[in-house]
Amino acid sequence: MLNFLITPINQLLIFLYGLSGSNFGLAIIFLTVIIRLALVPITIPSLQSAKKLQALKPQLDRLKKKHTDKQKLQLAQLELYRQHKINPAAGCLPQVAQLFVLIALYQVFMNIVSGGQIDGQPINQRFLWLDLSQPDPFYILPVLAGLSQFVFSLMMRSGVESHLKAPKDKKQKQKE
């Protein structure tokens, strides 16, 4: 079904495996970076749209107070989006693209790990102290992934809060 993605990703992983000195873990890291860079062109417009939506939040809150009828509220919100040239569905495209890439990556990894070979050669499935073909008995990687996601979300939240707080501080200084 997703062979148009699976085949090139598989070939790229094979190339990166050879380039990294037959280190499967490094090949996966390089592949991840390349895929993230490839998804940047569709991610940037989504981030810009989210930023515009965040800037409209005060106006959207006023509309919610003004309109008690849900249908009128939706129409008013759509009109506001149209005036500011914002497509609220613009954030969906990167998520869908990432989902297809994630499914393709899963297929590539399952094919390689189950076969244990790349181009007929046995692969080195070790990275640092881990055997990437075996389940992690200590759950180190899931815990590290969860912690890094948590820290990243805290950093993003504090960045957004400071960004939102800055205009209020400027207004207060102007009043004084």
Give the pLDDT confidence of 59-83 residue by residue, as tens digits. 988 988 888 888 988 888 888 888 9
pLDDT at 23: 82
Per-residue pLDDT, averaged over 39-64, amounts to 85
Give the predicted TM-score (pTM) of the model: 0.61
Domain ranges of the chain: 3-126, 135-176
Token couple for 29: 């890291």
Residue pLDDT, tens place only, 120-165: 666 766 667 777 677 777 788 788 889 988 888 888 776 556 655 6
Residue pLDDT, tens place only, 90-124: 777 788 888 999 999 998 888 877 766 666 666 76
**pLDDT(17) > 60:** yes
Out of 7-16, 63-72, 143-152, 167-176, pick the least confident. Answer: 167-176
Nearest CA among 25, 30, 28 for reference residue 129: 25
**pLDDT(35) > 90:** yes
The neighbour count for residue 60, using CB atoms within 10 Å, is 15
